[in-house]
Amino acid sequence: MNESHISMKEALLFTQRIGQLSKALWKAIEKDWQNWIKPYDLNINEHHILWIAYQLNGASISDVANFGVMHVSTAFNFSKKLEERGLLQFSKKENDKRNTYICLTEQGKDIFVKTMESYNPSNSTALSAALPIKDLYGKFPELMEMVTIVKQIYGENFMDIFEKSFTNLDEILEEENGHLRQKEPVFAK
């Protein structure tokens, strides 16, 4: 890291500005997320783990911790609670006994998809706040500066999985009459 070309004051102002903005935005998003998943008796960590397990299909606890931006013990403990509810299964791989892997059960897949289908955009503070920008420019903010900062902190692999998770959701969900639902499988019966 080369900080020699910025002043101490500039560095302080940037880090505090991004910290305060991130905290304020997270507070609004956290409240909305909790309200969204409350009917499913899930907390944010549990829902995030279901999301990651759905996307990675056989993720290690380390993967969950990395992509969920949580401590390994947090990922394990909340995964354990999901296992007790019958939403996840734990396993070890024959060639990798050191790592614990998780996979969604059918019940886990069902509850995850139901949470996606129950999403209500009118309950999103961040979305509501971004709508004037979409109305003005015809698209939502792309947040490229934020993506670049996160990529520098967490790496290319993190961003690849981040982007893949949204591509996967786009492929499994469809909108019908203003509601989301899981697409019907295209394979022959």
Q: Which fold has domain 27-182?
A: Arc Repressor Mutant, subunit A (1.10.10)
CA distances, 1 to each of 88, 167, 173 (Å) = 40, 32, 41
Query: Does residue 4 carry a pLDDT above 80?
Result: no
Q: Is the pLDDT of residue 1 over 60?
A: no
The per-residue pLDDT for 77 is 98
pLDDT digits (tens, 9 = 90+) for 104-138: 999 999 999 999 999 999 999 999 999 999 999 99
Which of 58-67, 156-165, 178-187 bottoms out in mean pLDDT, i.e. has the lowest? 178-187
- 67-93 residue pLDDT tens: 999 999 999 999 999 999 999 999 988
Tell me what pLDDT residue 188 has: 43
Residue 189 banded pLDDT, cuts 50, 70, 90: very low
Q: Return the minimum-mean-pLDDT range out of 26-35, 92-101, 139-148.
A: 92-101
Q: What pLDDT, on a 0 to 100 scale, did the predictor assign at position 83?
A: 98
Tell me, what's the pLDDT at 114? 95
**pLDDT for 9-19, tens place per residue?**
999 999 999 99
Structure tokens at 117: 């289908």
pTM assigned to the model: 0.86
